[in-house]
Structure 1
Amino acid sequence: MGQHSLLDADRYALESQIRECYGRCAYTHKTHEKMAERLHARHQRGKWINIVLSALITSGAVSVLFSKGSAWEGLASYATAALSVLSLIFNAYLKDLDPGALAQRHRETASDMWNVREAYLSLITDILDTKTELENIRNRRDDLQEKLHKIYHGAPHTDGSAYGKAQDALKNNEDLTFTDTEIDLMLPVSLRRSRRAG
């Protein structure tokens, strides 16, 4: 008996599509999580660099005040001015980039994707119940597709580095097509096709 002997051809084809959608959602969710983690770390580093620059500028200003007439006065003045310019450039860069706000947008997208991913998981569970009508499954699939479109439309962009980290986290291949085995590894044991193999 074949692997999908327990399901008719239409139900099996629909399940295959939904499993693929589930796998893509899992990747997208994890990629946005990884982007958020990296941007949050960048934001934290930026805060520390700002603290260090502020401390150095303050130290330089105090040095200028207490080194009046000494050989160090000119050097302290130039160093303080240079650090002030550097601080201004760095703050302008951070304000323009705003990694903290961007990290939050990635977290929100990941949260939205998590919800859709779990809905696909429920759909996979329901499709295995042969009492559930295929029309009902198709309608729910179409609703999820519409939700995904809205999420993707407003989602911030990700990059290859975040995708690579998501790939490592999910222990999967580079492309977005999944073998039954790969999706089975992401699903609970009770929903794995390998358990139904004849």
Structure 2
Amino acid sequence: MNDTNYRNQLKNQIKEAYGKVTYTYTAHHKLADRLEKKNRHVKNTQIVLTAFSACGFFALTVTNKIALAWLSGISSVLSLFLSIYTKEYKIQNEINQHRNAANALWDIREGYVSLLTDYEILENDGIRHQRDVLCKKVSEVNNNYPATDSKSYRAAQKALKKDEEQTFKEGEVDSILPNGIG
């Protein structure tokens, strides 16, 4: 194999790795966003159930209606179950882990962009070394953080392909730079 073919294969490998990191980075963000929404929903439900429990109890003491006792009791039991669920399932910890994974992948993603930018001026050995370092960093992230799921991957796929979340349109970057730069 000649050097030109090898360099093309090497560049394609780096591009593919960049793409995988970008997908994983975006999937971690999508999963964290989904978990945050779930966490807000659970907490709001807890507040509503606690309010029904308290209001039902106070209304029962004033009106002496049995239906209010049932409403208060059922709300209390549901609130207890939700509290037990949130005690056992540390959703905020999982959200933080996915955010941390995304932050670590951001640095790696930018490393791949820099490697692709410098590609033409680097020797093969330098390219391979930087590729191997970045590959090892990705492996460390994958080993130290929870994985994403298929729903998050599909959300990342939509965000990247359809919504173009990680890209800029022609001239868009220039329009957000401070005056005099660009």
TM range (shorter): 0.7 to 0.9
Of stretches 99-108 and 53-62 in structure 1, the one that deviates more from structure 2 is: 99-108
Does the alignment pair 1:82 with 2:78?
Answer: no
Structure 1 residues 187 and 136, CA, compared in 2 at 3 Å: closer, same or farther? farther
**Length, aligned pairs only:** 165
Q: Normalising by the residue count of structure 2, what TM-score does the alignment of the two structures yield?
A: 0.83
Corresponding residue to 2:107 among 115, 125, 129:
115
Measured after TM superposition, the shift of residue 17 of structure 1 is 0.7
- Cα offset, 1:186, TM superposition: 5.7
Structure 1: distance between partners of 2:133 and 2:11 = 16
* TM-score, scaled to structure 1: 0.77
Contact 1:11 1:127 in 2 (8 A): no
C-alpha spacing 1:93/1:48, structure 2 compared with 1 (3 Å)? same
Of 25, 30, 36, which aligns to 1:29?
25
Match of 2:138? 148
Q: What residue is the counterpart of 2:173 in the other structure?
A: none
Residue number in structure 2 paired with 1:176: none
Deviations 1:158-191 (A, max 9, x none): 111111110001117xxxxxxxxxxxx96998xx
Structure with the larger helix share: 2
Root-mean-square deviation (Å): 2.1
Displacement after TM superposition at 1:9 (Å): 2.0
Check the 8 A contact 1:15/1:124 in 2, yes or no.
yes
> Could you say which structure has the larger radius of gyration?
1
1:12-61 Cα shifts (integer Å, max 9, x gaps):
11111101100000100000010011001111111111111111111011
Greater relative CO (CA pairs within 8 A, separation 6+)? 1
Partner of 2:147: 157
Deviates more, 1:48-57 or 1:92-101: 92-101
CA separation in 2, counterparts of 1:43 and 1:98?
10
Deviation at 1:88, TM superposition (A): 0.6
Contact 2:52 2:71 in 1 (8 A): no
Is residue 118 of structure 2 the alignment partner of residue 126 of structure 1? yes
Unaligned runs of 5+ in 1: 1-6, 173-184, 190-198
Q: Distance in 2 between matches of 1:98 and 1:40?
A: 12
